[in-house]
């Protein structure tokens, strides 16, 4: 039975017999031909990122079928990290998050929307979903921005465990990505620029 899960700015998510269907809707403000091409490109691009991240050893939904504007994926049955991260599990979960991001960055996968709402705990693993804003890039700055977004997402939703979880995220990240220290240094520079702009 088809069940609507979420409606975003870009797509609608459906659950259909254990499959997650992501359907990119038409944008009336765009020329129809251009709109169709963009939706097709973004659908194919997201499927590519999911597959590359899986090859890197990261838990992501397995791509089942790619349509022009529809992506069918494995349904990840578990609980959102946003709903489950706490004092007791933050170090274990944080380390898993960090190692997974390190693997993705080794393959130049930039998630683009690293929040605890896009991570699902399944069994003993942390699975990453929704690569709709992602891209591939070898740039240290892009990887630092990926971490910057994650830090501020955790700060806004899990501030009580922020220091502990962030420390182990970076520890895990360093174990899997050879240029981790360069990224973390750049992250510090981005933070300084951000503080300066907000004054």
Q: Give the SS3 label for residue 70.
A: strand
Supply the residues annotated as catalytic.
113
Q: Which long-range CB contacts under 8 A does 59-65 form with residues at least 24 apart? A: 59/100, 59/122, 59/125, 59/126, 59/127, 59/128, 60/127, 60/128, 60/129, 60/131, 61/20, 61/127, 61/129, 64/19
**Chain CA centroid to CA 123, Å:** 19
The whole-angstrom separation of Cα 116 and Cα 113 is: 9
CA triple 148-113-48, angle to 5 deg: 125
Instruction: Determine contact, residues 124/130, Cβ cutoff 8 Å.
Output: no
Scan for tokens 């359907």, then name that residue: 23
């Amino acid at each position: 039975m088809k069940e609507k899960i979420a409606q975003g700015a870009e797509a609608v998510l459906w659950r259909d017999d254990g499959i997650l269907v992501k359907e990119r809707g038409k944008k009336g403000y765009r020329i129809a031909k251009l709109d169709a091409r963009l939706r097709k490109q973004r659908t194919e691009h997201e499927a590519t990122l999911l597959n590359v991240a899986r090859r890197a050893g990261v838990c992501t939904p397995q791509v089942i079928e790619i349509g022009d504007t529809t992506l069918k994926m494995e349904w990840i049955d578990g609980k959102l990290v946003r709903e489950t991260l706490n004092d007791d599990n933050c170090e274990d979960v944080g380390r898993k998050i960090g190692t997974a991001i390190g693997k993705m960055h080794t393959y130049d996968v930039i998630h683009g929307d690293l929040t605890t709402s896009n991570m699902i705990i399944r069994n003993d693993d942390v699975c990453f979903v929704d690569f709709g804003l992602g891209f591939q890039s070898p740039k240290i700055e892009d990887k630092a921005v990926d971490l910057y977004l994650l830090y501020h997402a955790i700060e806004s939703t899990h501030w009580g465990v922020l220091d502990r979880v962030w420390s182990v995220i970076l520890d895990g990240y360093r174990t899997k990505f050879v240029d981790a220290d360069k990224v973390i240094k750049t992250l510090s520079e981005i933070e300084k620029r951000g503080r300066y702009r907000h004054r």
